[in-house]
Amino acid sequence: MTDYGVLSNLLVIFSVSIAVVFLFHQFRLPSIAGFLVAGALIGPHGLNLIHAGDTLVPELGHLGLLYLMFVAGLELDLKVLKDHRRSAVALGLLAFAIPFLGATAVGTVLGWSVAATCLLGALLSSHTLIVYPTLRDAGLGPNPAVASAVGATVLTDTLALVVLAIVAGSELGSGSRRSSSARSCSASRSSSSSGSSRSRGSST
């Protein structure tokens, strides 16, 4: 994508998002719903102002999620989280274990491999803080329940990343072992064929 295309897409995204969110704010509706409507409006299934396969939108999405995590951590009261650390850990473990076990059961029923099942579990067990701005605007940021939820989200995302790292490492290791075994088999076949050709040449 050219620089002009990137700038035009950015202009469309921010212009439509600001207009729709401002309209939602006038009707006292959550701004998150405004962003969803703006995305559906300019997306490939709407006005098609942002075409399918555009790489800018996923990159902005990743940046937005990182920004939400950063803002939540920046405004998190560590004293409140320390006082409620047990509830945060318990909530995080439950929020990770329940989707992960459900995904494991689904993958087992479908006959998927262990790696694919664990990957599905990690994807379903990771969470985001997409509603945190709404809670913050409502003045609920210092609430102990919000602090526990933020801590639990950090824990679930960490566990999901650990599972993804283990799955990726096992798949890379198995792939390298398969490639090395294939190379050794190919080398043995080539050596055996060269040996047989030499034996035929000497007999003649």
- Report pLDDT digits (tens) over 16-68: 888 888 888 888 777 777 888 888 888 888 888 887 777 777 777 777 777 76
Q: How many domains does the chain have?
A: 2
> Are residues 106 and 190 located together in one domain of the fold?
yes
Q: Is residue 129 part of a domain?
A: yes
What is the reported pLDDT for 90? 92
| Residue 102, token pair as written in the block | 């459900």
Whether residue 179 is found in the same domain as residue 134: yes
Phi-psi region of 2 (alpha: psi -120 to 50; beta: other; left: phi over 0): beta
Residue 96 confidence (pLDDT) above 80: yes
In a domain, 202, yes or no: no
Same domain? For 154 and 94 the reply is: yes
pLDDT band per the 50, 70, 90 thresholds, residue 188: low
Q: Verify that 89 and 129 share a domain, yes or no.
A: yes
Same domain, 95 and 135: yes
Same-domain check for residues 48 and 91: no
List the alpha helices (DSSP H) in the chain. Answer: 3-26, 31-42, 56-75, 78-83, 85-109, 114-125, 132-137, 144-203
Give the pLDDT confidence score for residue 2 in this predicted structure.
59
- 80 and 33 share one domain: no
Q: What is the pLDDT of residue 94?
A: 94
- pLDDT value, residue 95: 92
Domain carrying residue 33: 1-54
Same domain, 39 and 74: no
Which of 54, 77, 93 terminates a domain? The answer is 54
pLDDT score for 105 = 93
pLDDT given at position 153: 86
